[in-house]
Amino acid sequence: MNFYVPTIEDIGRIKFAMKNNTKLCCEMSPANAVLWARYYKTEIAFQNGELLFRSLGEDGVYSYSCDIQDSLDGKALFDEICRLAMEQKQPLRMHCVMQQEFEQIKEWYPGQYQMTVNRDYCDYIYSGEKLATLAGKKLHGKRNHIYRFEEQHPDWSYEPINDNNEQECARMAMHWCMANCMDGEDTIEYDKIDESKLVVYAIRHREQLGMIGGAIRADGRIVAITLGERLTDNAFVVHFEKAYADIQGAYPIINREFVRHELENYVYVNREEDLGEEGLRKAKLSYYPEILLEKGIVTKKQ
């Protein structure tokens, strides 16, 4: 089987392979597969038109992923992954496995496999309606932040990312990077630099990638941006969201306005994982997700 690192030239084939996806995990989206491939050392291959992923771990062991629950023959896909692991003379490791997929694996091979879940990689999935309205006592604080933003920036406006503001949005992403990539005085956070480069790339190639984005303008400049793509028929995934931290309410208002203007046809909004970052976890929990989606690692029992 021919595994290779995907590029934007593969996006059409990836979209076709994912067209029937119902998995709500953020990884099962075409743009995500292309944008993060090199960062996560991810390769793809096709088995009878269906998509397989493999990522090289720090221990030199490949971890595989596929869409068992939507496959025409999920068992054949799983068996192929087992064969690939054996071919590499490595233990089986499979990531992004949904609970219902693991239940299917247990039916095929009772007592042979186990699944573990890492809380750091659980996806936060929200009600689109609740993000758009911020109704209720629990989200009172978010509404207050937005009220303060509107008071301090009465000329604010929302606009979709398009050819007219593309350059401004890309500059904002780089300015955000310069303001946030230093941890203290001496340490550079290279992850944030890498992510900012991907944001700029996604802005420039948004149409080809199948992404849409939005921006908030205040005092004549772009102060917040966000980008994402369709995940399933009723779910959208937000891949990037950047706002100036010193502008109170910039994050809540881009979150709300993007959903209001662009995502009215989606029931759910996936805002990805927190990766164990304490501040990010607190921020994501403060919006009270409808689903904390567990994604398991499947291995063979010893």
pLDDT at 299: 98
> What residue segments make up the domains of the chain, in order of their start?
8-122+296-300, 123-272
Specify the pLDDT at position 52: 97
pLDDT tens digit sequence for 190-209: 788 888 899 999 999 999 99
pLDDT band at 300 (very low <50, low <70, confident <90, very high): very high
Residue 182 has pLDDT above 80, yes or no: no
Q: How large is the average pLDDT for residues 127-153?
A: 98
Percent of the chain beyond pLDDT 70?
99
User: When comparing pLDDT for 261 and 196, which is higher?
Assistant: 261
At 217-250, the pLDDT tens digits run 999 999 999 999 999 999 999 999 999 999 999 9
Please state which CATH number belongs to domain 123-272: 3.40.630.30
pLDDT at 190: 78
Sheet holding 93-97, edge to edge: 42-47, 50-56, 62-66, 93-97, 296-300, 113-117
State the pLDDT at residue 184: 64
Within this chain, domains 8-122+296-300 and 123-272 share the same CATH topology: yes
Which of 150-154, 174-178, 252-256 has the weakest average pLDDT?
A: 174-178
Q: Comparing C-alpha atoms, which of 51, 37, 46 is closest to residue 7?
A: 37
pLDDT at 179: 83
Give me the CATH topology for the region 8-122+296-300: Aminopeptidase (3.40.630)
Once rounded to an integer, what is the mean pLDDT over residues 138-158? 98
Q: Are 214 and 258 in contact (CB under 8 A)?
A: yes
DSSP state of 4: B
Binning pLDDT at 50, 70 and 90, where does residue 28 land?
A: very high
Rounded Cα gap, residues 182 and 188, in angstroms = 5
C-alpha–C-alpha distance, residues 100 and 226, integer Å: 31
Q: What is the mean pLDDT of residues 270-289?
A: 97
